[in-house]
């Protein structure tokens, strides 16, 4: 009887949680990532309170701090939401002028391959935003990058609704990547060096 029970268990191993030894490391890795992301999101508001004054001072010095500030919080005006609604865009994300230059070249190559493709280009800095606005053709929607806080990222992804995300250089943020993964949106990293 015992031998028969052991054989039944071996045959039906998939019916028992964590019985498949190969999937256990994957599940543990996912659990670890979820815990890390939870801690990150719990600490995020504290970090915002600590760093916000310096961030605002920096924005005041650079000027044009009010221009599209809501985009950093995932708040988009009705005209922008309407423009993005029907376009399944490629979302290119770049930090500043150097990365924006690369992103614009990449967007033009995508457009050659797919002539009707629209792109959204988000940038972190005011200088990158100004450069992108001056240089981007009308089929590229230039926006400020949303802050990497999960409710902000959820709103941004819901508005932009990209069919793919392309990150330029090593601008990888946990909630950005997690939201793309949750929505099963492919992510590519270009022109980046990652060290272990």
State the catalytic residues: 99
Any idea how long the chain is? 196
Question: Phi and psi dihedrals of 45, rounded to 5?
Answer: -60, -35
65 closest CA partner among 73, 75, 55, 74: 55
* 3-class secondary-structure state, position 69: helix
Residue keyed to tokens 């614009």: 104
Residue in this structure with the two tokens 């099963």, named with its chain if needed: 184
CA distance 90 to 92: 6
Give the three-state DSSP class for 169. Answer: coil
């Amino acid at each position: 009887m015992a031998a028969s029970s052991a054989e039944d268990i071996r045959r039906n191993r998939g019916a028992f949680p964590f019985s498949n030894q190969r999937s256990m490391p994957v599940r543990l890795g996912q659990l670890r990532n979820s815990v890390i992301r939870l801690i990150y999101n719990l600490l995020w508001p504290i970090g915002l309170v600590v760093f916000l004054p310096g961030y605002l001072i920096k924005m005041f010095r650079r000027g044009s701090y009010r221009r599209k500030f809501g985009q950093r919080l995932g708040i988009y005006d009705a005209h922008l939401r309407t423009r993005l609604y029907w376009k399944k865009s490629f979302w290119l994300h770049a930090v500043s002028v150097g990365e924006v230059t690369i992103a614009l070249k990449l967007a033009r190559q995508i457009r050659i391959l797919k002539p009707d493709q629209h792109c959204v280009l988000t940038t972190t800095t005011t200088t990158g935003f100004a450069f992108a606005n001056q240089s981007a053709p009308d089929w590229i929607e230039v926006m400020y990058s949303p802050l990497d806080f999960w409710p902000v990222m959820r709103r941004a992804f819901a508005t932009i609704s990209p069919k793919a995300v392309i990150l330029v250089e090593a601008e990888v943020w946990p909630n950005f990547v997690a939201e793309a993964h949750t929505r099963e949106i492919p992510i590519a990293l270009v022109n980046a060096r990652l060290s272990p």
